[in-house]
Amino acid sequence: MKQPAFRLEPVLRLRRSQERAASMAAAQAAREATAAAQRAEDDAAALAASSMPALSSAGAFVAAMVASRTAAADVSAARALAVSYAEQAEAVRARWTAAAQRTKGLERLKERHVERLQVAADAAETRLVDDLVTGRHGGDQHTGEEETWTD
């Protein structure tokens, strides 16, 4: 006997597909956030390692200060960008978590469906066995009276 199909199977497949896509997007966003944070740290390390050149004039001093200030602004912008990427990665991860929860809910429904089908099949099998046993037992009983045939 063919078991009834889980009617929400197409929805479950769609949800699983959405969860996989959200998972890949979360992984990509996490990689981008990590790369942005690494670039910010590299820029900060380069700024810290830079030293003021030997200054021969006031113009050279002003140019070195402007370059240093610009580099510091770049580091600040890189850190802000890294924070932005991290926040975006967190939002994408939250969407992945929500997609996983929706998928899990449908998977639980499918598990219940399968369990109910199994319970019904077990009950049908028990009824069949009971019918076979009671049918044999009822057919083997004799009342002790012999039947008489009259012509």
CB burial of 35-45 (b: ≥16 within 10 Å; e: otherwise) equals ebbebbeebbe
Give one word for 144, left, alpha or beta, with left for phi > 0 and alpha for psi -120 to 50: left
Can you give the pLDDT at residue 97? 96
106 touches 8 (CB < 8 A) = yes
Residue-range domain boundaries for the chain = 9-133
Q: What confidence tens digit (pLDDT) does each residue in 66-102 have?
A: 988 999 999 999 999 999 999 999 999 999 999 999 9
Q: How far is residue 113's CA from residue 67's CA, in Å, rounded to a whole number?
A: 68
Taking 50 as the pLDDT cut, the residues of the chain under it are none
67 touches 79 (CB < 8 A) = no
User: What is the pTM assigned to this prediction?
Assistant: 0.67
* Arithmetic mean of pLDDT over the chain: 87
Angle between helices 58-140 and 9-49 (to 10 degrees): 160
